[in-house]
Amino acid sequence: MPDLRIQDIRVTPIAFYDPPLLNNAGCHEPFALRSIIEVETEDGVIGLGESYGVQEMIAALNELAPHLVGMSVTNISGLRARAAQVVCGETTGYSGQEGLLPRVIGAIEVAMWDALGKATGQRVVDLLGGQVREDVPFAAYLFYKFKSHAGQTATDPWGEVLTPEQLVGEAQKMVDQFGFRALKLKGGILPVEDEMAGLEALHAAFPDAPLRIDPNGGWHVHTALNLLPRLTGMIEYLEDPTLGIEANAVVQAATEIPLATNMYVVAEKHLPPAIRQDAFRVILSDHHYWGGLMASRHLARICEIWGLSLGMHSNSHLGISLAAMTHLAAATPNLTYDCDTHYPWQTDEVIEGGKDAFRFENGCLTVPEGPGLGVTLDRSELKRLHQNYLDCGILTRNDRAEMQKHQPDWQFARPRY
């Protein structure tokens, strides 16, 4: 029988190229940060995890790691308990310790599942309760974007996207390459009429595509209420139109369009008030901030019990995260909507097989073959991307400051319109 005790945990921060994508908080920097977690058992089996790479996260992971040595990779409760003792957390970022803790737990928990799967010959999807779908559908994640990063002359491969025509071009390219069915527009950036023109252009060009818009809390309640008649019948859900649970509840009460969130129900403590106020009809889950795969299975069951729909959120990520998302989605019976993924925007990869390891067919992925998550580290790429991290000088994420490099007088505002 395998010895499942943890003998070592390694955390490697990496940086990979990210395009100048726009959101309500600013602009993506030239590099996105990520942490790669390796949990090695006494038998030498290595489980992989991938999560956020900002300084606070790397520090917390490194602080926690030695406290987990000797624990079984099955011991999720032990991980949670020790993380709660060790992770103090700054009050900056991630809404403080309360936000950092589930992120740290989730990062390591995924690697523990991968190790358990590899040690016992089981796929993670099976350990999570069994596969309920062969194909896991993902959506095109459409962004407004600048042509180049600030101070750079090189044009990003996806070019400038600021007009309805450019937006339809970006969507067409994504649909052609990946076969996505659903289209999600990141909003809350341009004036509302410009974004509505973009959305209407997408609807005209892709009349059968389920559409979504995510203003990231960027609209006032009155703006959202005024737009509801035009959005009704055009979008499948409206994501975080305005700020907070209370204000979104006002919008939800006024419309048959389901409101979705990945901003205001992002931890277990948000569920009781959000459910009590009927603020959202769709929870966009994310195992990276929800505390891992088992916590995400609990969340899915909660959504089923309370009649909430379920989708999946993403940040900029590489293949270990994509594998974990795919296993989780394949194990989740009540996944209602096609999952979000930033994956098409990324050009680097840290797993063997590179960007060819995952093949989207009609917007869908199948669960990787092989035990655990079914992916293995490309150590030369890990080394290169870690060097990127050391060289790029970025230690946290600051979309606001990056935006101000493009437009010095730009100010953050939420709601903005």
| C-alpha–C-alpha distance, residues 376 and 305, integer Å | 36
The string of DSSP codes covering 134-146 is: SEEEB-EEE--B-
| C-alpha–C-alpha distance, residues 10 and 108, integer Å | 10
CB of 43 to its own copies, least distance (A): 12
Residue 351 burial class via C-beta count within 10 angstroms: exposed 0-12, middle 13-18, buried 19 and up: buried
CB of 268 to its own copies, least distance (A): 5
Residues 212-251, one symbol each (x = binds its own copies by CB under 8 A, - = not), give ----------------------------------------
**Of 180, 121, 189, 166, which Cα lies nearest the Cα of 342?**
180
Residue 106 to residues 7, 51, 215, 309, 387: CA-CA distances in angstroms? 19, 8, 27, 22, 25
In the annotation, is 220 catalytic?
Answer: no
Position among 34, 80, 149, 184 found at the interface with its own copies (CB under 8 A): 80
Any contact of residue 70 with its own copies (CB under 8 A)?
Answer: no
**Which span sits near its own copies by CB under 8 A: 14-22, 42-50, 77-85, 374-382?**
77-85
**Which of 118, 145, 149, 313 is flagged as catalytic?**
313
Nearer to its own copies, 67 or 203 (CB): 67
Report the site for its own copies in 283-342 (rule: CB under 8 A): 294-295, 297-298, 301-302, 304-307, 331, 333
Residues 121-140, one symbol each (x = binds its own copies by CB under 8 A, - = not), give xx---xx-xxxx--------
**Beta carbons within 10 angstroms of residue 386's beta carbon:** 16
Contact between 235 and 213 under an 8 Å Cβ cutoff? The reply is yes
Residue 22 burial class via C-beta count within 10 angstroms: exposed 0-12, middle 13-18, buried 19 and up: buried
**Which of 184, 186, 288, 317 is flagged as catalytic?**
186
**In angstroms, how far is CA 204 from the centroid of its own chain?**
28
Any contact of residue 81 with its own copies (CB under 8 A)?
Answer: yes
- Residues contributing to the site for its own copies (CB under 8 A): 1-2, 4, 72, 74-81, 120-122, 126-127, 129-132, 268-269, 271-272, 275-276, 294-295, 297-298, 301-302, 304-307, 331, 333, 371
Residue positions annotated with a catalytic role: 186, 313
